[in-house]
Structure 1
Amino acid sequence: MARPLVLGWSHTAFGKQPDATLESLIVDAGRGALDDADVAPDQIDLVVVGQFNSGMHPLGFPSSLPLQIDDGLFGVPALRTENACASGSAAVHTGLAHLLAGRARKVLVIGAEKMTGIPASTVGSALLGADYDLAGAESSTGFAGLFAEVAQEYERRHGPGGDTLGAIAAKSHRLGAANPFAQLRKDLGEEFCSTTSEGNPMVAAPLRRTDCSPVSDGAAALVLGLEPTSTRHAPVRVAGWGSANDHLPRARRDPLAFAATELAWNRAMKDAGVTTGDLDLVELHDCFTIAELLMYEVLGLAPRGEGRRALADGVVLPGGALPVNPSGGLKSKGHPVGATGVSQHVSVAMQLTGTFPGVQIEGARMGAVHNMGGLAVANHVTILAADRS
């Protein structure tokens, strides 16, 4: 069977959207993707909704909400995937599996989350539900505290990182400022991101506010299929994909290894028959700046303990060997949990068709998506390529 295609896509703005509901986000993104793909609702064989929720929204059964898009979707099988912050990519991979199994020819995938307008304690408790040790417990710092421990361990093993995390944050803000979908659209500069201040307080040392992705509302959607349909742009080919899970208890994981992340990355690369050097960009899961730093090393852009070199040498910047998160990443674009993985796929698809509305990587022909749930526990990687068919 030929490799699946991403036929069309759509992306809402990310951020605080008081007038939006989970239903309106899903409907807007799903309808936009169908229109972009030139696919009629009655041509869809399966709908997959990626959403974490975990108590952030009272409706725990959203799989049929996409049927509100059009009556032509009545009777279409629909399901929801949940894999913590990797729920969106889990939805994409579920759709791909159905295509490759011959159970569907066109799949509508929607990732969505409504996280604002509820108490911060509710959001924090929901997110901590993705951690084996802290689920159900009280925590003043939540997942920021967990990734702060990772940053502390990184400094213990490899020495002080200087302003590396601040430089990563500044890169994300600079790129996000050009992305109309992004929540945080302001170039803050390295000095601000590297300095503790009233506007940039310490959240969990050494992570400041600018090191942490924001709480967001938003949705993204795409249509998967086997034959081109859109009159607006070329399709994007799914060249390969892979996933891997690590042990849930933190005691069974080296916090700096990201071992299952590396395994998922290698599986996707092998499936696509490419290497990291073949890529023109990557959208990776930078829920916190320390996660992006570690990913430089997982991807082999710098030796272990020397990830800062990938940034200092310009490797991960636009124009470098492998631009990282030209969308601004989770850090600036926002992180509506279930929408994130789908958003990453949409961002790369736009880059490969030259239609990204922010910082476009010129001549991009192949890109990767990396999306993880928990602290590198659930890991999904997809390799996308400009279609040459």
Structure 2
Amino acid sequence: MHKRAVIVGWAHTPFGKLDDPDIESLIARVSRGALDHAQLGPQDVDMITVGVYNNGLTPQGFEGALVALGEPALRFTPAVHVENACATGTAALYRAMDFIESGRGRVALAIGAEKMTAIPAREVGEVLLSGCYRKEEENPAGFAGIFAQIAQAYFERYGDHSAEMAMIAAKNHQNGMANPYAHVRKDVGFDFCNTVSDKNPIVVGPLRRTDCSMVSDGAAALVVTDEETAAGLARAIRFRARSHVNDIMPLSRRDPIAFEGARRAWQQALSDAGASLHDLSLVETHDCFTIAEMIEYEAMGLAKPGEGWKAIREGITAKDGRLPVNVSGGLKAKGHPLGATGISMHVMAAMQLMQEAGDMQVPGASLAGVFNMGGAAVANYVSILERVR
């Protein structure tokens, strides 16, 4: 019989510029916390997956081996490091789920973490370029330069929608005020986001600082088990469906504003879930830049191509809208420690479904969508989550 992996517990650090000295300390902060939340112990864990992007953000590699340093009782537990650009966290989670669903074990611990502020800010952009096709896409502005090109291409085809991008930024910052883990908990307002100023300068192309997610430290962890084990625990969040679709890496070999891999991942997940987008109570989506969230509205089917801006302008994606998007504040306000992001997004969704999201809570949330992507819509992951108990 096909086994299904179920989320039964989690832990989450604040995101931001943290005092934790290294990736090892961040991992230690969430590993035991997630197990305690799941009402399980280190002796119950059959597999550990660790999602860390790194690629020069810190000198320490071999991150899978760091978990036992913070939790010695996990010393002999199999552990692997997983990396898939900005989707590293979800890749680690899905690897843990594959282990459970293969029947090789009953409990897995998936950890996502990143220490991004250990190197000078000017060097971070250079590191992040390893998530694009450097042969063609090398540029002095780093990954912001890639999404500036995407934004410019969108504007050339569909008109300048900088104002709607500012609305997305303002929405997510307002939502982030309710998130105790968020990097920035400040309602900066639409006027500030829509105005170029000394405090909100142009970063590159049409992107202002408020259009870009921040360089953050942080970690999150999830415990997943088989359904039989979950039946005896306090929490159980099931994946009604999950999908992973990869697109070709170079933007020159595809329509850069179509996000076709993301669209296919959403279509596959919703079909497998036997659901439509309008059945969802909320979505946590990958707003590394505001232009990404706007195009993702189109990829998920909330708007027609070229009309994603209408979803924010009409209030559809507001917390009290028809489909709330990024009620956690998203990457924009919550922060984007690369390896932790995918795990964090699933934690935020699970909290909503358990009615444990505090001031972030969407009343009556019963079905949640999560979209996490690596690169510029290259690795695309969609999860459809529901509460079992």
Structure 2 length normalisation: TM-score? 0.96
User: What is the CA-CA distance between 1:270 and the residue it aligns to?
Assistant: 2.4
Matched, 1:249 2:265: no
Q: Which residue of 2 aligns with 1:145?
A: 145
Query: Secondary structure at 2:30's aligned position in 1?
Result: helix
Q: Which residue of 1 aligns with 2:166?
A: 166
Whether the 8 Å contact between 2:24 and 2:70 is mirrored in structure 1 is: no
Q: Which residue of 2 aligns with 1:205?
A: 205
User: What is the CA-CA distance between 1:133 and the residue it aligns to?
Assistant: 3.1
Aligned equivalents of 2:283, 2:254: Cα separation in 1: 25
Aligned equivalents of 1:153, 1:221: Cα separation in 2: 37
Matched, 1:48 2:40: no
Whether the 8 Å contact between 1:36 and 1:230 is mirrored in structure 2 is: no
Query: Secondary structure at 1:63's aligned position in 2?
Result: helix
Query: Secondary structure at 1:112's aligned position in 2?
Result: strand
User: What is the CA-CA distance between 1:13 and the residue it aligns to?
Assistant: 0.3
Evaluate the alpha carbon distance shift between residue 110 and residue 70 of structure 1 in structure 2; reply closer, same or farther with a 3 A threshold. Answer: same
The number of residue pairs the alignment matches comes to: 386
Aligned equivalents of 2:211, 2:61: Cα separation in 1: 31
Question: Unaligned stretches of 5+ in structure 1?
Answer: none
> Any idea what the Cα deviations from partners look like across 1:162-211, whole Å, max 9, x if unmatched?
51011100001000111110001110000000000001000012110000
> Any idea what the Cα deviations from partners look like across 1:300-331, whole Å, max 9, x if unmatched?
11111111111122211112221100000000
Aligned equivalents of 1:67, 1:270: Cα separation in 2: 40
> Any idea what the Cα deviations from partners look like across 1:260-290, whole Å, max 9, x if unmatched?
1111112222222222121111101000000
Whether the 8 Å contact between 2:136 and 2:250 is mirrored in structure 1 is: no
Q: Which residue of 2 aligns with 1:323?
A: 324
- The structure carrying a bigger helix percent of its residues is 2
Matched, 1:4 2:8: no
Letter in 1 for 2:182: A
Q: Which residue of 1 aligns with 2:78?
A: 77
Q: Which residue of 1 aligns with 2:309?
A: 308
Whether the 8 Å contact between 2:52 and 2:112 is mirrored in structure 1 is: yes
Q: Which residue of 1 aligns with 2:366?
A: 365
Query: Secondary structure at 2:223's aligned position in 1?
Result: strand
Alignment of structure 1 residues 139-288 onto 2, 5 Å: 139-226=139-226, 227-228=229-230, 233-288=234-289
Aligned equivalents of 2:40, 2:147: Cα separation in 1: 42
Aligned equivalents of 2:43, 2:131: Cα separation in 1: 36
Aligned equivalents of 1:159, 1:358: Cα separation in 2: 36
Q: Which residue of 1 aligns with 2:357?
A: 356
Matched, 1:19 2:20: yes
User: What is the CA-CA distance between 1:332 and the residue it aligns to?
Assistant: 0.5
Whether the 8 Å contact between 1:106 and 1:224 is mirrored in structure 2 is: yes
Whether the 8 Å contact between 2:166 and 2:190 is mirrored in structure 1 is: yes
Structure 1 length normalisation: TM-score? 0.96
Aligned equivalents of 1:9, 1:297: Cα separation in 2: 31
Per mean C-alpha deviation after superposition, the further-off stretch among 308-317 and 269-278 is: 269-278
User: What is the CA-CA distance between 1:122 and the residue it aligns to?
Assistant: 2.6
Alignment of structure 1 residues 30-49 onto 2, 5 Å: 30-49=31-50
Query: Secondary structure at 1:25's aligned position in 2?
Result: helix
Q: Which residue of 1 aligns with 2:345?
A: 344
Query: Secondary structure at 1:170's aligned position in 2?
Result: helix
User: What is the CA-CA distance between 1:230 and the residue it aligns to?
Assistant: 7.5
After superposition, the CA RMSD in angstroms is: 1.5
Letter in 2 for 1:205: G
Letter in 2 for 1:228: A
> Any idea what the Cα deviations from partners look like across 1:232-257, whole Å, max 9, x if unmatched?
x5211111100011111221111111
Per mean C-alpha deviation after superposition, the further-off stretch among 265-274 and 89-98 is: 265-274
Whether the 8 Å contact between 2:373 and 2:381 is mirrored in structure 1 is: yes
> Any idea what the Cα deviations from partners look like across 1:79-131, whole Å, max 9, x if unmatched?
01100000000001111111111112110000000000312233111100111
Evaluate the alpha carbon distance shift between residue 109 and residue 162 of structure 1 in structure 2; reply closer, same or farther with a 3 A threshold. Answer: closer
Letter in 1 for 2:177: A
Letter in 2 for 1:239: R
